[in-house]
Amino acid sequence: GQQVMQIPQYQHVQEGEDFTTYCNSSTTLSNIQWYKQRPGGHPVFLIQLVKSGEVKKQKRLTFQFGEAKKNSSLHITATQTTDVGTYFCAALDQGGKLIFGQGTELSVKP
């Protein structure tokens, strides 16, 4: 079945550094979603991208959807300790199931 590969698995940064997580698929995606899960919490929806080449920003977070709609990225500028958590991408497969990437766990050292 369709898989969504996400890298890196872990990222440790110093507060103020930038962070990027990448999501890749071998097949064209209809859309891609991003979620954040704080330690001990549950995933929280951040954004959905639909259009080829789409770029959306939420404050320090920038989300991109590749031109071929096979990859996506989430970039955080000047990380803060509140950014700690695991970031997941998710995409609908052909059957309509939401498939999640393995997630990137971000830790931020103050």
Partner 1 sequence: KAGVTQTPRYLIKTRGQQVTLSCSPISGHRSVSWYQQTPGQGLQFLFEYFSETQRNKGNFPGRFSGRQFSNSRSEMNVSTLELGDSALYLCASSSLAGGTYEQYFGPGTRLTVT
Binding site for partner 1 (CB under 8 A): 1, 31, 33, 35, 41-45, 48, 88, 90, 92, 95-103
Please give the Cα distance from 26 to 14 (Å, whole number). Answer: 33
Choice between 55 and 98, CB closer to partner 1: 98
The least CB distance from residue 72 to partner 1, in Å, is 15
Please give the Cα distance from 44 to 102 (Å, whole number). Answer: 15
Choice between 13 and 92, CB closer to partner 1: 92
Please give the Cα distance from 99 to 7 (Å, whole number). Answer: 15
Instruction: With beta carbons less than 8 A apart as the criterion, state whether 87 and 106 touch.
Output: yes
The least CB distance from residue 74 to partner 1, in Å, is 16
